[in-house]
Amino acid sequence: MKIVSYNVNGIRAALKKGFIDWLQAINPDVVCIQETKAHKEQLDLNVFEEAGYPFHYWFSAQKKGYSSVAILCKTEPKHIEYGTGIETMDFEGRNLRVDFEDFSVMSLYLPSGTNDARLNFKLNYMAEFQQYVNDLKQETPNIIICGDYNICHNEIDIHNPKMKGVSGFLPIEREWLGGFIDSGFIDSFRYLNKEPHHYSWWSYRANARNNNKGWRIDYNMVSEPMKDRIKRAYILPEAKHSDHCPIVVEID
């Protein structure tokens, strides 16, 4: 099974940039989308169904044009979980999960810490999310949490490791992500790829993408019980519908 995670930075904008043709060309089984910036009633959902994804689920922020996640599936899940049930995070539409017979897939969009208030919100969200996942794994041990974590884990994951004072590479954020992995997850890309200079997000400024001055902040985190089922993990920087690019994990 091929699973893609992609922060599209606005699904309506991505559709105008050829998203559907690209999707059909790579043909994943499950697509986790972050930052759709849309409610489903604002979209022509037929385009996803005609592309081969008759099962699509949308969890949107209360605020229109903001945040929001979705999952597209070729086959029907047995259960869909909208949000976490935690009031402090669900109003921004950041978590959506689909359960199949023997594993689950979540689309996650962690907040960014663009200012002090949002950084505090992010840190609180991270703490609550960790507890939520700890509890979730008791009943759903086989889970893949795909998405934009808005954190570079290690120096290899950022083009300029000196940026330790910038949210996304703060010591406290990196420590949390390390702890999240240590709680029972595998960073599927880094598990199979040890080379530097692989990123999933680039600033629109200073020609960063053409110069590959990027950050790896998108992850397909696979729970430890599924470790032997990871077959491939890779990044698709040639896809340019967003300031992010898609990341892929293939599971047996």
Catalytic residue set: 148
**Phi, psi torsion values for 222, nearest 5 degrees:** -110, 130
Q: Which residues make beta-bridge pairs with 244?
A: 201
- Rg, Å, the chain Cα set: 17
Which residue from 249, 226, 191, 188 is spatially nearest to 103, judged by alpha carbons? 226
Q: How far is CA 232 from the centre of its chain?
A: 17
Please check whether residue 203 is in contact with residue 196, taking contact to mean a CB–CB distance below 8 angstroms: no
201: exposed, middle or buried (Cβ count in 10 Å: 0-12, 13-18, 19+): buried
Q: How far apart are CA 72 and CA 75, in angstroms?
A: 9
Tokens of 228: 């032997």
**CB 240, CB 22: distance < 8 Å:** no
